[in-house]
Structure 1
């Protein structure tokens, strides 16, 4: 079968590799659709604990090809989504109820072969039936699961006034959870008009177009809430945005770092300001064990995905897909491995 294979950071080819087989407790899935996100750019550069050689792709939907011994509930031809994240359940972090920080954390598309391939193999307990969801909807199950985990971490107070900076896929999904999760008002600020229009159609209370100039953005966001927001969220991964978040929140407010910055990025926050105004700083890293709630939200229709996919690529066009996700005209790019 064909797959994207990196032998080192920034060095990959679409090549022939052996098709995986299902060992006991595993399921082989033929991938119909696999989504790209900013994490794939970090992996391209060798970041985010990437392990080489690597086939990336952590947002996958497809059909069951083969079921290993001891696996019940799946049969060939069944449409499924794959939760890429697995914890061992036995290490110190797992036994303390922190499986996301498992010492043997397995992440398909990060440190194990993922979905930018014609087929992938997954632990059976991380495969979920999705026959009632179209591929274009089901492919959002993993990024929405990350947003669900983000809401778990945020612990949003009912009625909170929330600013979310960023209107990419992850921002669009998180914004909808904020709207339905008790926020009194949700403001989305971003530079791209069509993405803001989509966020507004999803039910956010206010959208504001900003520039990519840090000082101009800082002034605009200050004017939106002179006394500060209860919560300010970064969904961009831009250090210039994260740097300004504490000054945008009110006394006893929360700064929420949801977008992924580069590992060597630094901000210049005042510890005295955080101390004096009793600010809370939270971060949200990926997800584990949130896929069932993500699928429930997609099935309910409360989280909508229509309009999010803007670019489609065949497997052999993976280089073009990587380029596209940095383009402001791209909201969500997907790869169709079978094409």
Structure 2
């Protein structure tokens, strides 16, 4: 029998979100219904509300979540009611050319639930990143559920579902940061802070955090930054070079998603260094670089999809590190709020007052 729950909906571009009654169908083949226990307020949710992703309103927002499986549909194996899970938005197919080449983190055919959740009047909802977790329950593809140790509190565990995983993965998986590397991170919000944490976890010897906000630089120090640069006051490229013996960093992670900061990242890396773009640009943005500089500096220019993570591999590992006291995931939780507080959380995010507001259900 379908479930009736409360959820946070964006009905139109730029409109304040509203708390609505949602109909969640019983899970069909390959699907699962999850009781959401906590969900982080991610900047991507704000992008949806502003029409920056697509115009398929109304959206059921929320995607950075942890909870307990309520029910599973026909044919689901390896997942059962009562399992404690983190939700992910890139459930790999196992059949596309990337998966068959042994690179499932690049899966080209990730999938979501087939059925649609709806408003009371039957209007179909578009779940944010195929999840829609600002709700008491949500319907997802079973492959979007990754089982982890239930000793990790939902408010912390859910953050791996998006931003924190994207940042840690940008450093470790995409950037290949390893012991002794120098790393610069441009943009130290939630994703950039997680990139700093990932670089620290990997054993980088020098981690340079760059931002225009002193609060974010202070947060970055807490996650392991050895040096900070306020780029409102100092030329970021010159500062990074000065802190790396005049050479530039081995890995530069751009966590803003703007042409000007991407150029900073490009010129702040060492010869044969790596640039990782994990910040999400908007469709109209372009970047222009002298082709001779692209050729002459060598190295690698990479983009990072979801931190190039494999949820079944990375989520349990990172939760174990957190439970061992080796990974400060709790440091990202600025405040815990209710479903009715999401609009104000967006305002706080816009003002740079929080790393993560987390809805606790």
Shift of 1:19: 2.6
* Runs of 5+ consecutive residues of structure 1 not aligned to the other structure: none
Give the deviation of 1:65 after TM superposition: 2.3
**TM-score, normalization by structure 2:** 0.81
Question: Residue 115 in 1 paired to residue 136 in 2?
Answer: no
* Matching of residue 67 in structure 1 with residue 77 in structure 2: no
Change (3 A) 1:111 1:105: same
TM-superposition CA deviations, 1:47-104 (whole Å, max 9, x none): 3467444312221112232233444565545532222322333344544455555554
Structure 1 length as normaliser, TM-score? 0.86
1:98-153 Cα distance to aligned partner (Å, 9 max, x none): 55555543358435341111111223343214411112221222234324542222
Paired position in structure 2 for 1:22 = 27
Query: What is the CA RMSD across the aligned residues, in angstroms?
Result: 2.8
Q: Which moved more, 1:324-333 or 1:77-86?
A: 77-86
CA-CA distance at 1:284 after TM superposition: 0.5
- The answer to whether residue 151 in structure 2 is matched with residue 132 in structure 1 is yes
Match among 176, 193, 196 for residue 155 of structure 1: 176
Q: Distance in 2 between matches of 1:309 and 1:265?
A: 31
Moved over 6 A (4+): none
Greater displacement, 267-276 / 289-298:
289-298
- CA deviations on 1:135-182 (whole Å, 9 max, x unpaired) are 222122223432454222222354221111222121222212212224
Partner SS state of residue 307, structure 1? helix
The 3 A distance-change label for structure 1 pair 247 and 112 is: closer
- The answer to whether the 8 Å contact 2:241/2:249 transfers is no
| Stretches of structure 2 lacking an aligned partner (at least 5 in a row) | 114-126
Equivalent position SS for 2:350:
coil
**Which whole-Å CA distance do the structure 2 matches of 1:105 and 1:64 have between them?**
21
**Structure 1 residue 205 corresponds to structure 2 residue 201:** no
Distance in structure 1 (CA, Å) of the matches to 2:53 and 2:102 = 22
> Alpha-carbon deviation of 1:276?
1.5
- Displacement after TM superposition at 1:17 (Å): 1.7
Q: 1:5 to 1:96 in 2, by over 3 A?
A: farther
Assess if the C-alpha contact under 8 Å between 2:130 and 2:140 holds in 1. no
Residue pairs, 1:1-339, within 5 angstroms: 1-11=5-15, 12-48=17-53, 51-71=56-76, 76-97=81-102, 99=104, 102=107, 104-106=109-111, 109-110=127-128, 112-127=130-145, 128-142=147-161, 143-150=163-170, 151-156=172-177, 158-211=179-232, 216-225=235-244, 226-286=246-306, 287=308, 289-301=310-322, 302-336=326-360, 338=361
Q: Deviations over 1:201-239 (max 9, x none)?
A: 33332233332x7x7445544443432222221122233
My pick for the range that moved more, 26-35 or 80-89, is 80-89
| Alpha-carbon distance in 1 for matches of 2:199, 2:55 | 31
Distance 1:28 1:51, change over 3 A: same
C-alpha change, 1:78 and 1:97, in structure 2 (3 Å) is closer
Give, in whole Å, the separation in 2 of the partners of 1:3 and 1:190: 34
Q: Secondary structure of the equivalent of 1:18? A: strand
